[in-house]
Amino acid sequence: MENLPHPDTIIDALSIDCVIFGFKDGRLDILLVKHGEGISAGKWALPGGWITYGESVDDAAKRLLNSLTGIRDIYLEQLKAFGDPNRYPSRRVVTVAYYALVNEENYALIPGFTASDAQWFSIHDLPPLIYDHDQILDYGYRQLKHKVRHEPIGFNLLPAKFTLLQLQELYEAILETKLDKSNFRRKLAKMKLLIDCKEKQKDVSHRAAELYKFDKRVYVTLRKNGMVFGL
Amino acid sequence: MENLPHPDTIIDALSIDCVIFGFKDGRLDILLVKHGEGISAGKWALPGGWITYGESVDDAAKRLLNSLTGIRDIYLEQLKAFGDPNRYPSRRVVTVAYYALVNEENYALIPGFTASDAQWFSIHDLPPLIYDHDQILDYGYRQLKHKVRHEPIGFNLLPAKFTLLQLQELYEAILETKLDKSNFRRKLAKMKLLIDCKEKQKDVSHRAAELYKFDKRVYVTLRKNGMVFGL
């Protein structure tokens, strides 16, 4: 394995786990890696691993995600430290979890380091996960649902110009619920977050819909001050 | 020292720190302990210490706060893990920080365990703190300010019946700013969070003001769904 840190260089009581949500074709996915070695070889897990003595915990999260899956340059937000005394099988390990929501199409998956595979899985069709990774994933998912109700959703999840239906499908995938179209549009209009591009979709087989884009000024303000999107 | 865990029973790369804000007489304070032993003896610090192998990280936070300061039965929320490689002087230690906001009058401070003293300090007049505790405190303070703009403020910080001026002073102490009285009252009224008790203050030297209490139903809903108090 490439770049495997020497055991003496890692903090043995502390690990990283990354809960990376991906959006593609109206579906919410989660990024998993297959362990290629060690006590859980062949099993699926959240991307994660050990922190070396010389790097910050934040830097370890970025390094591990990149070396295991090829994903780099995303904003990883710290989720929570999970510290149940029995969460790891062979010794005491506390894990610091991070999370992010990305547009899958912007990243190519390249398994590496201790991972023999890296894949997106539908959030509704997951393989069994090691340790307490299902609990970490559940917590991250609840946090994501909370976040999209209180901050404008990531800019980069949709094309620069998008339809209201595309935006609604993004919220529906994350919130796991069908939303009422007119109710959704009324609440959205109140936020004044969208600009009407005054143009329609092209090359679609159905009736072409109006295109919209985010008003960056409003976007930044809502991000800073928070909001309540009562979906 | 009472109940000092044996060095073999603690995780040496991981610690706890608690950022406990206190409110009293219109002033926001922070709880500090004086280290009674070790490399930082005689210095002031956030209450914290080591996690034993048998307890969860959450339980360690409760135990340490209680044994160092006497405070028990408060809801400690996890703030963030601080993981800079150079934050601790003699070896690599990542700390998991917790925070809370309490009414000082509900707690008696009883220094114990490794603390020779425990005191409330005005947030505007702090002694020098050890390690990166000023950064942890700053982060916790920013988080607290964010929280009071997006959730109803703690029930237990004011008397059961309070005046609008008392409530305004609580927000002013936390947000470190003078608020416009009529603007504050207008925004507050919109939330429909308060019930007019239809009675006035008694035994006050100034003109008696109207008393209010929280509407528990609205309180719970706002807590759950979030809100934006645009102060």
Query: Domain spans of chain A?
Result: 7-150, 155-225
Cα→Cα distances B200→A29, B135, B195, B204, Å: 57, 43, 13, 10
For residues B88 and A57, the answer to whether their CB atoms sit within 8 Å is no
Is A221 in a helix, a strand, or coil?
Answer: helix
Helix (H) or strand (E) holding A217: helix A216-225
Instruction: Note the pLDDT of residue A4.
Output: 64
Query: Which of B160, B156, B149, B177 has its CA nearest to residue B103?
Result: B156
Given a cut of 50, the residues of chain B with pLDDT beneath it are 1-2
Task: Specify the pTM.
Answer: 0.94
Q: Which CATH number is A7-150 given?
A: 3.90.79.10
> Is B96's CB within 8 Å of A81's CB?
yes
The overall average pLDDT reported for chain A is 94
Instruction: Note the pLDDT of residue B154.
Output: 85
Q: Where are the alpha helices (DSSP H) in chain B?
A: 57-69, 133-150, 164-175, 181-191, 216-225
Give the ipTM: 0.92
Given a cut of 50, the residues of chain A with pLDDT beneath it are 1-2
For residues B97 and B82, the answer to whether their CB atoms sit within 8 Å is yes
Q: What CATH architecture does domain B7-148 belong to?
A: Alpha-Beta Complex (3.90)
| Cβ–Cβ contact A7 with B under 8 A | no
| Distance in angstroms (rounded) separating the CA atoms of residues B12 and A125 | 39
Fold of B155-225: Arc Repressor Mutant, subunit A (1.10.10)
| Cβ–Cβ contact B145 with A under 8 A | no
Instruction: Note the pLDDT of residue B100.
Output: 97
Residues 74-113 of B with CB under 8 A from A: 78, 80-85, 92, 94, 96
| Distance in angstroms (rounded) separating the CA atoms of residues A71 and A61 | 11
Smallest CA–CA distance, residue B31 to chain A, in Å, is 23
List of chain B residues whose C-beta atoms are within 8 Å of the C-beta of residue A225: 149, 228, 230
